[in-house]
Amino acid sequence: MSTSLLLALSYEQPTSGERLAKEYGCTRAAIAKRINALRDAGVLIDAIAREGYRYGYPYCWWQDMLMQREMAVVAPRLAWHILPSVDSTNHWMREHLKSSATGLMHLAVSDFQRAGQGRRGRQWLSWPGRQMTVTMGLVSSSSPVAWVGVAIAVGVCIAQILNAQGWPVSLKWPNDLWLGGAKLGGILIEMDAMAEGPSHLIIGFGINEHVLSGERESLAREVAALSDAKQPYDRHVLLGQIAASLSTMLESFAETGLAPWHAAWRRFDVLHGCEVNFERNGQWRSGIAQGIDAQGALQIRQGDELVSCHSGEVSVCAI
């Protein structure tokens, strides 16, 4: 699939097939074929009779020049990469870190992710250009134990930035971003521990920017998007702010651990005090969510007992 047409199309006004054919040195039929391939990939493109092609959404594709401007604040401690198309930004990062220097952070984004995964290997749907699909990676000299609970800190960093920009985002343990009672995005942390040498920390997150009504109806759960708030924003600026916050956190987390992030988590914890169902050891139970412990495990009160639940062994849903 060719993505070269992406910057040639506009949301404001149609671009004729004749003009595109002349610009790209091909036939109008070839242009139509490329347009159809983009549509098949999920890009919203309208065909206006006798006028041409126009986007059905005001896309702002990831661009080198804009990314360079916003990432200047975190350079040189973070190297960024725009991937035209990728199966998974997390998978790409895993391979990339094999040749990275220790201590250098990396950030990868893509508007076209074909096979993203969420927690427990679930499929992660990515709508081209309508979702922030981001992975940060770090080769750390610290052992994996030093990074226990980092998903909590990642969630807090992202929630703080989004709240500061006007989105009242909360956090649903262990890794969901919530807006207006629906899932706005998710976080996936992966750690590759080397038998000898450093460990590789991989932080993937996705944030919905715009979801069509038909797409919402096809999903098993309610979802939210940044566009629901109907406030303007620049995705390059927003990502730059999130990257700066995460970079600062990652520089100190292996030394400080989760302790500095407990109070902030309580501010955003959507489950605290709620009755929840949770699955543990193949059995469903219920209790009252009571925040997190020192390692970031969810604490649930069952009568006089306080149970600590770790993300690898439970699924939680509010009753």
Q: Are 243 and 107 in contact (CB under 8 A)?
A: yes
Q: How many domains does the chain have?
A: 3
Q: What are phi and psi of 189, to 5 degrees?
A: -105, 130
Q: Which helix (H) or strand (E) holds 151?
A: helix 150-164
- Amino acid (one-letter) located at 48: I
- CB count in 10 Å sphere of residue 64: 9
Q: Is there a single domain that holds both residue 22 and residue 143? A: no
* Residue 221 φ then ψ, to 5°: -130, 160
What pLDDT does residue 73 have?
86
Q: What is the pLDDT of residues 15-52, one digit of tens each?
A: 999 999 999 999 999 999 999 999 999 999 999 999 99
Tokens of 272: 């605290």
Residue 7 DSSP code: G
Place of tokens 């009252």: 288
Do 213 and 93 belong to one domain? yes
Tell me: do 84 and 123 sit in the same domain: yes
- On whether both 184 and 254 belong to a single domain, the answer is yes
Structure tokens at 232: 């303007």
Q: What is the CATH number of the domain that holds 28?
A: 1.10.10.10
Q: What is the distance between the alpha carbons of residues 267 and 263, in angstroms, rounded to a whole number?
A: 7
Domain extent, residue 286, equals: 271-318
CATH for 277: 2.30.30.100
Could you report the per-residue pLDDT of 216-250, keeping only the tens digit for each?
888 878 999 999 998 999 999 999 999 999 999 99
Rounded distance between C-alpha atoms, residue 283 and residue 285, angstroms: 6
Top pLDDT among 281 and 312 is at 281
